[in-house]
Structure 1
Amino acid sequence: MIFETSEEVDVPRDFAFSRFGDFTRYEAAARGYGADIRRVNGFTELAEGVGWRGSVMVRGKTRGVEATVTRLVRPEHAQMQTLVGGMTVTVDLTFEDLGPEQTLVRARASLRATTLAARLILQTVKLGRRQIQAKIDSRIVALANEYEDEYRRIQDRG
Protein backbone atom coordinates (compact mmCIF):
# COMPACT_ATOMS: atom_id res chain seq x y z
CA MET A 1 0.00 0.00 0.00
CA ILE A 2 1.32 3.42 -0.95
CA PHE A 3 0.48 6.90 0.31
CA GLU A 4 1.78 9.87 -1.70
CA THR A 5 1.50 13.63 -1.41
CA SER A 6 3.29 16.72 -2.66
CA GLU A 7 3.40 20.35 -1.67
CA GLU A 8 4.97 23.47 -3.11
CA VAL A 9 6.89 25.25 -0.36
CA ASP A 10 8.06 28.86 -0.61
CA VAL A 11 11.60 28.21 0.65
CA PRO A 12 14.87 27.28 -1.11
CA ARG A 13 15.49 23.56 -1.66
CA ASP A 14 18.38 23.38 0.83
CA PHE A 15 16.17 24.86 3.54
CA ALA A 16 13.28 22.52 2.70
CA PHE A 17 15.60 19.52 2.81
CA SER A 18 17.10 20.55 6.14
CA ARG A 19 13.66 20.86 7.72
CA PHE A 20 11.64 18.03 6.12
CA GLY A 21 14.66 15.69 6.21
CA ASP A 22 15.26 16.31 9.92
CA PHE A 23 14.66 12.77 11.15
CA THR A 24 15.74 13.74 14.66
CA ARG A 25 12.58 15.88 14.75
CA TYR A 26 10.53 12.78 13.90
CA GLU A 27 12.37 10.95 16.68
CA ALA A 28 11.07 13.53 19.16
CA ALA A 29 7.56 13.32 17.68
CA ALA A 30 7.57 9.51 18.08
CA ARG A 31 8.49 9.94 21.74
CA GLY A 32 5.58 12.34 22.06
CA TYR A 33 3.29 9.53 20.91
CA GLY A 34 4.68 7.21 23.59
CA ALA A 35 7.37 5.39 21.61
CA ASP A 36 10.54 4.35 23.41
CA ILE A 37 13.20 5.20 20.80
CA ARG A 38 17.00 5.12 21.13
CA ARG A 39 19.65 6.07 18.61
CA VAL A 40 21.82 3.21 17.46
CA ASN A 41 25.48 4.02 18.23
CA GLY A 42 24.46 7.45 19.61
CA PHE A 43 25.04 9.27 16.31
CA THR A 44 24.94 13.06 16.27
CA GLU A 45 25.12 13.72 12.51
CA LEU A 46 22.44 12.44 10.13
CA ALA A 47 23.92 10.16 7.45
CA GLU A 48 23.09 7.01 5.52
CA GLY A 49 23.04 3.99 7.78
CA VAL A 50 22.18 5.75 11.04
CA GLY A 51 19.21 4.37 12.87
CA TRP A 52 16.95 3.98 15.86
CA ARG A 53 15.64 1.02 17.85
CA GLY A 54 12.93 0.77 20.42
CA SER A 55 9.31 -0.10 20.96
CA VAL A 56 5.92 1.42 20.21
CA MET A 57 2.30 0.58 21.03
CA VAL A 58 0.37 -0.57 17.94
CA ARG A 59 -3.26 -1.59 18.42
CA GLY A 60 -2.78 -2.06 22.15
CA LYS A 61 0.34 -4.21 21.90
CA THR A 62 3.98 -3.24 22.38
CA ARG A 63 5.95 -3.95 19.22
CA GLY A 64 9.62 -3.59 18.42
CA VAL A 65 10.59 -0.86 16.01
CA GLU A 66 13.78 -0.41 14.02
CA ALA A 67 14.38 2.51 11.65
CA THR A 68 17.33 3.24 9.36
CA VAL A 69 18.17 6.11 7.03
CA THR A 70 18.77 4.10 3.85
CA ARG A 71 19.49 6.94 1.43
CA LEU A 72 20.54 10.54 1.92
CA VAL A 73 21.43 12.70 -1.06
CA ARG A 74 21.50 16.33 0.08
CA PRO A 75 19.43 18.34 -0.92
CA GLU A 76 17.48 16.07 -3.29
CA HIS A 77 16.38 12.90 -1.55
CA ALA A 78 16.02 11.27 1.86
CA GLN A 79 14.77 7.76 2.52
CA MET A 80 14.06 5.94 5.75
CA GLN A 81 13.02 2.34 6.24
CA THR A 82 11.17 1.30 9.39
CA LEU A 83 10.36 -2.21 10.56
CA VAL A 84 7.55 -2.43 13.10
CA GLY A 85 5.45 -5.41 14.09
CA GLY A 86 5.97 -7.41 10.91
CA MET A 87 5.50 -4.41 8.65
CA THR A 88 8.04 -2.55 6.56
CA VAL A 89 7.41 1.15 6.00
CA THR A 90 9.63 2.97 3.51
CA VAL A 91 9.37 6.76 3.45
CA ASP A 92 10.84 8.69 0.53
CA LEU A 93 11.18 12.47 0.52
CA THR A 94 12.23 14.18 -2.70
CA PHE A 95 12.93 17.87 -3.20
CA GLU A 96 12.70 19.56 -6.60
CA ASP A 97 13.80 23.14 -7.29
CA LEU A 98 10.96 25.19 -8.77
CA GLY A 99 12.72 28.54 -8.36
CA PRO A 100 15.20 30.34 -6.13
CA GLU A 101 12.80 30.30 -3.19
CA GLN A 102 10.32 27.60 -4.16
CA THR A 103 10.59 23.83 -3.76
CA LEU A 104 8.30 20.94 -4.60
CA VAL A 105 8.37 18.44 -1.75
CA ARG A 106 7.11 14.93 -2.51
CA ALA A 107 6.49 12.42 0.25
CA ARG A 108 5.81 8.74 -0.41
CA ALA A 109 5.18 6.07 2.20
CA SER A 110 5.12 2.44 1.13
CA LEU A 111 3.72 -0.11 3.60
CA ARG A 112 4.37 -3.82 3.19
CA ALA A 113 3.23 -6.57 5.56
CA THR A 114 5.57 -9.49 6.26
CA THR A 115 3.48 -11.37 8.85
CA LEU A 116 -0.16 -12.39 9.15
CA ALA A 117 -0.73 -9.97 12.05
CA ALA A 118 0.71 -7.13 9.96
CA ARG A 119 -1.53 -8.09 7.03
CA LEU A 120 -4.55 -7.72 9.29
CA ILE A 121 -3.37 -4.28 10.40
CA LEU A 122 -2.79 -3.33 6.77
CA GLN A 123 -6.37 -4.37 5.93
CA THR A 124 -7.60 -1.97 8.61
CA VAL A 125 -5.39 0.75 7.12
CA LYS A 126 -6.89 0.08 3.69
CA LEU A 127 -10.40 0.59 5.09
CA GLY A 128 -9.39 3.99 6.46
CA ARG A 129 -7.25 4.97 3.48
CA ARG A 130 -9.08 8.24 2.70
CA GLN A 131 -8.90 9.48 6.27
CA ILE A 132 -5.23 8.52 6.58
CA GLN A 133 -4.38 10.20 3.26
CA ALA A 134 -6.20 13.36 4.40
CA LYS A 135 -4.18 13.37 7.65
CA ILE A 136 -0.91 12.94 5.73
CA ASP A 137 -1.83 15.74 3.31
CA SER A 138 -2.80 18.13 6.10
CA ARG A 139 0.37 17.32 8.08
CA ILE A 140 2.59 18.08 5.08
CA VAL A 141 0.73 21.38 4.51
CA ALA A 142 1.10 22.29 8.20
CA LEU A 143 4.83 21.54 8.12
CA ALA A 144 5.22 23.54 4.89
CA ASN A 145 3.49 26.54 6.48
CA GLU A 146 5.64 26.24 9.61
CA TYR A 147 8.86 26.12 7.58
CA GLU A 148 7.80 29.01 5.35
CA ASP A 149 7.14 31.13 8.45
CA GLU A 150 10.48 30.13 9.94
CA TYR A 151 12.29 30.97 6.70
CA ARG A 152 10.60 34.41 6.53
CA ARG A 153 11.58 35.15 10.15
CA ILE A 154 15.19 34.24 9.35
CA GLN A 155 15.14 36.45 6.23
CA ASP A 156 13.66 39.37 8.17
CA ARG A 157 16.47 39.16 10.76
CA GLY A 158 19.22 38.77 8.18
Structure 2
Amino acid sequence: MKFSSKDDIEAPIEFVFAQVSDFAGLERSALRRGAEVQRVDTRSSIDVGMTWKASFQFRGKTRRTTIELVEYDPPTAMAFVSQSKALEGRLDVELVALSRTRTRLVLTIDLTPRNLSARLLVQSLKLARSSLLRKFDKRLGGYARDIEERYHRVA
Protein backbone atom coordinates (compact mmCIF):
# COMPACT_ATOMS: atom_id res chain seq x y z
CA MET A 1 0.00 0.00 0.00
CA LYS A 2 1.38 3.35 -1.01
CA PHE A 3 0.66 6.84 0.39
CA SER A 4 2.07 9.98 -1.12
CA SER A 5 1.72 13.66 -0.31
CA LYS A 6 3.42 16.89 -1.26
CA ASP A 7 3.54 20.44 0.01
CA ASP A 8 5.30 23.60 -1.09
CA ILE A 9 7.38 25.43 1.49
CA GLU A 10 8.47 29.08 1.37
CA ALA A 11 12.12 28.39 2.21
CA PRO A 12 15.29 27.50 0.27
CA ILE A 13 15.95 23.81 -0.39
CA GLU A 14 19.10 23.77 1.77
CA PHE A 15 17.16 25.03 4.80
CA VAL A 16 14.31 22.57 4.25
CA PHE A 17 16.74 19.66 3.89
CA ALA A 18 18.51 20.70 7.10
CA GLN A 19 15.15 20.62 8.89
CA VAL A 20 13.97 17.25 7.54
CA SER A 21 17.37 15.73 8.30
CA ASP A 22 17.49 17.06 11.88
CA PHE A 23 17.25 13.56 13.32
CA ALA A 24 17.76 14.64 16.93
CA GLY A 25 14.81 17.02 16.61
CA LEU A 26 12.68 14.35 14.95
CA GLU A 27 13.55 11.91 17.75
CA ARG A 28 12.43 14.47 20.35
CA SER A 29 9.20 15.07 18.44
CA ALA A 30 8.45 11.33 18.35
CA LEU A 31 9.15 11.07 22.09
CA ARG A 32 6.69 13.93 22.76
CA ARG A 33 4.04 11.99 20.82
CA GLY A 34 4.50 8.90 23.00
CA ALA A 35 6.85 6.80 20.87
CA GLU A 36 10.07 5.38 22.22
CA VAL A 37 13.02 6.00 19.92
CA GLN A 38 16.60 4.90 20.43
CA ARG A 39 19.51 5.35 18.06
CA VAL A 40 21.45 2.07 17.82
CA ASP A 41 24.32 2.82 15.42
CA THR A 42 27.59 4.46 16.43
CA ARG A 43 28.03 6.84 13.50
CA SER A 44 29.13 10.33 14.41
CA SER A 45 27.87 11.95 11.19
CA ILE A 46 24.70 11.68 9.15
CA ASP A 47 25.14 8.94 6.58
CA VAL A 48 23.59 5.82 5.12
CA GLY A 49 23.40 3.11 7.75
CA MET A 50 22.06 5.23 10.61
CA THR A 51 19.65 3.01 12.54
CA TRP A 52 16.97 3.48 15.17
CA LYS A 53 14.75 1.15 17.17
CA ALA A 54 11.27 2.50 17.82
CA SER A 55 8.16 1.35 19.61
CA PHE A 56 4.75 3.00 19.61
CA GLN A 57 1.08 2.27 20.24
CA PHE A 58 -1.07 1.62 17.17
CA ARG A 59 -4.59 0.21 17.30
CA GLY A 60 -4.20 -0.84 20.90
CA LYS A 61 -0.94 -2.75 20.45
CA THR A 62 2.67 -1.88 21.00
CA ARG A 63 4.47 -2.01 17.66
CA ARG A 64 8.24 -2.34 17.46
CA THR A 65 10.28 -1.52 14.39
CA THR A 66 13.84 -0.94 13.22
CA ILE A 67 14.39 2.04 10.93
CA GLU A 68 17.48 2.47 8.76
CA LEU A 69 18.59 5.36 6.59
CA VAL A 70 19.27 3.71 3.21
CA GLU A 71 19.66 6.73 0.93
CA TYR A 72 21.10 10.13 1.75
CA ASP A 73 21.60 12.60 -1.10
CA PRO A 74 21.70 16.20 0.22
CA PRO A 75 19.84 18.41 -0.51
CA THR A 76 17.35 16.48 -2.63
CA ALA A 77 16.54 13.03 -1.23
CA MET A 78 16.54 10.61 1.68
CA ALA A 79 15.02 7.18 2.08
CA PHE A 80 14.35 5.03 5.12
CA VAL A 81 13.43 1.36 5.41
CA SER A 82 11.59 0.05 8.44
CA GLN A 83 11.16 -3.58 9.41
CA SER A 84 9.02 -5.20 12.05
CA LYS A 85 7.68 -8.69 12.53
CA ALA A 86 4.57 -7.86 10.56
CA LEU A 87 5.39 -5.02 8.15
CA GLU A 88 8.13 -3.70 5.94
CA GLY A 89 7.98 -0.05 5.01
CA ARG A 90 9.85 2.49 2.98
CA LEU A 91 9.70 6.26 3.40
CA ASP A 92 11.04 8.38 0.57
CA VAL A 93 11.67 12.08 1.15
CA GLU A 94 12.19 14.13 -1.99
CA LEU A 95 12.88 17.85 -2.20
CA VAL A 96 12.60 19.90 -5.39
CA ALA A 97 13.73 23.52 -5.62
CA LEU A 98 10.89 25.43 -7.30
CA SER A 99 12.78 28.72 -6.95
CA ARG A 100 15.52 30.14 -4.72
CA THR A 101 13.05 30.56 -1.85
CA ARG A 102 10.44 27.88 -2.55
CA THR A 103 10.81 24.11 -2.14
CA ARG A 104 8.46 21.22 -2.81
CA LEU A 105 8.52 18.44 -0.19
CA VAL A 106 7.24 15.05 -1.39
CA LEU A 107 6.77 12.16 1.07
CA THR A 108 5.97 8.66 -0.12
CA ILE A 109 5.28 5.75 2.22
CA ASP A 110 5.05 2.18 0.94
CA LEU A 111 3.90 -0.59 3.32
CA THR A 112 4.28 -4.30 2.59
CA PRO A 113 2.73 -6.95 4.88
CA ARG A 114 4.91 -9.87 5.99
CA ASN A 115 2.25 -12.10 7.52
CA LEU A 116 -1.50 -12.72 7.54
CA SER A 117 -2.33 -10.36 10.41
CA ALA A 118 -0.39 -7.60 8.66
CA ARG A 119 -2.31 -8.29 5.45
CA LEU A 120 -5.52 -7.75 7.38
CA LEU A 121 -4.15 -4.53 8.85
CA VAL A 122 -3.09 -3.23 5.43
CA GLN A 123 -6.47 -4.22 3.99
CA SER A 124 -8.25 -2.21 6.70
CA LEU A 125 -5.95 0.73 5.93
CA LYS A 126 -6.91 0.45 2.26
CA LEU A 127 -10.58 0.65 3.21
CA ALA A 128 -9.90 3.86 5.15
CA ARG A 129 -7.52 5.20 2.48
CA SER A 130 -9.28 8.51 1.78
CA SER A 131 -9.49 9.53 5.45
CA LEU A 132 -5.88 8.40 6.04
CA LEU A 133 -4.71 10.46 3.05
CA ARG A 134 -6.56 13.51 4.39
CA LYS A 135 -4.86 13.08 7.79
CA PHE A 136 -1.48 12.48 6.11
CA ASP A 137 -1.89 15.63 3.97
CA LYS A 138 -2.94 17.67 7.01
CA ARG A 139 0.04 16.44 9.09
CA LEU A 140 2.48 17.15 6.24
CA GLY A 141 0.95 20.61 5.75
CA GLY A 142 1.42 21.37 9.45
CA TYR A 143 5.03 20.20 9.29
CA ALA A 144 5.63 22.36 6.20
CA ARG A 145 4.19 25.44 7.97
CA ASP A 146 6.45 24.75 10.98
CA ILE A 147 9.49 24.70 8.67
CA GLU A 148 8.36 27.98 7.07
CA GLU A 149 7.95 29.61 10.50
CA ARG A 150 11.44 28.47 11.56
CA TYR A 151 12.88 29.87 8.32
CA HIS A 152 11.19 33.24 8.77
CA ARG A 153 12.46 33.46 12.37
CA VAL A 154 16.09 32.99 11.26
CA ALA A 155 15.95 34.80 7.90
Instruction: Please tell me whether the aligned partners of residues 96 and 105 of structure 1 are also in contact (alpha carbons under 8 angstroms).
Output: yes
Could you tell me how far 1:43 is from its partner in structure 2? Answer: 4.3
Matches within 5 A, 1:63-74: 63-74=63-74
- Matched residue, 1:55: 55
Q: Deviations over 1:31-51 (max 9, x none)?
A: 234333211135453221001
- Matched residue, 2:84: 84
Could you tell me how far 1:25 is from its partner in structure 2? Answer: 3.2
Runs of 4+ with deviation above 6 angstroms: none
| Equivalenced residues, count | 155
In structure 2, give the amino acid aligned to 1:102.
Answer: R
Percent identity for Structure 1 against Structure 2: 26
Tell me whether 1:19 sits opposite 2:9 in the alignment: no
In structure 2, give the amino acid aligned to 1:87.
Answer: L
Could you tell me how far 1:132 is from its partner in structure 2? Answer: 0.9
Instruction: Please tell me whether the aligned partners of residues 66 and 83 of structure 1 are also in contact (alpha carbons under 8 angstroms).
Output: yes
Instruction: Please tell me whether the aligned partners of residues 63 and 85 of structure 1 are also in contact (alpha carbons under 8 angstroms).
Output: no
In structure 2, give the amino acid aligned to 1:36.
Answer: E
Task: Give SS of 2:46's match.
Answer: coil
Task: Give SS of 1:41's match.
Answer: coil
2: distance between equivalents of 1:146 and 1:55?
25
- Matched residue, 1:105: 105
| TM-score (normalised: structure 1) | 0.89
Q: Deviations over 1:85-106 (max 9, x none)?
A: 4101111011111111111111
Task: Give SS of 2:139's match.
Answer: helix
Instruction: Please tell me whether the aligned partners of residues 21 and 93 of structure 1 are also in contact (alpha carbons under 8 angstroms).
Output: no
- Matched residue, 2:75: 75
